[in-house]
Amino acid sequence: MIESMYGVMVVPLIIGLVALFVGAGLPKKWGGLLALGVGLLIGVAYGLTEAGWTILQSLIIGAALGLSASGLYSTQKNVRETPTRPPLEVNSYRVAGKTKSRVTR
C-alpha cells in the first residue's frame, strides 16, 4: 500500500483537506464522507497514472486511504470535543459501628 506519494504522506494530507473544507463551512457530519471521496480520488488518480494499478486496485487503496483519514479525523475531533469529567470522590461514613464507603462524582 502507498504511504506517500512524491514524499507527501497521504492520510495527513487528506485530513488537512477535510479540515480546510470544514473550516470553510462544510458541516462536520460530512467530513468522513469527504475524506472517503478524496481518498478515492487520490488513489485512482495516482494508481492509474503513476503506479500502473488496475481500477479495482486503485479503488481499494483509495478507499483504505480515505477511511483511514476519516477515522483519524473523527477520532481527533471527538477527543477535542469530549468534556472532562470530575475525578471520583470516595466518602467514608459509619453505620452501626461499621465503616462504609460511597463513590461519587
Q: Between β-strands 89-95 and 98-104, what pairing exists: parallel, antiparallel or unpaired?
A: antiparallel
Instruction: Give the pLDDT confidence score for residue 94 in this predicted structure.
Output: 72
Per-residue pLDDT, 17: 94
Compute the CA torsion angle 8, 10, 12, 17 (nearest 10 deg). 100
CB 66 within 8 A of CB 36: yes
The three-class DSSP label of residue 101 is strand
- Please report the pLDDT score of residue 9 as a whole number: 86
Q: Which residues contact 32 (CB under 8 A, 6 or more apart)?
A: 70, 73, 74
Degrees to nearest 5, angle at CA 21 with 67 and 64: 10
* Structural domain that includes position 46: 4-104
pLDDT block averages, 10 residues each, the chain of length 105: 65 92 91 93 91 92 90 74 70 72 68
Q: How many separate domains does the chain show?
A: 1
Predicted model pTM: 0.67
Residue-level pLDDT at 1: 53
φ, ψ dihedrals at 24, nearest 5°: -85, 0
How much is the pLDDT for 74?
75
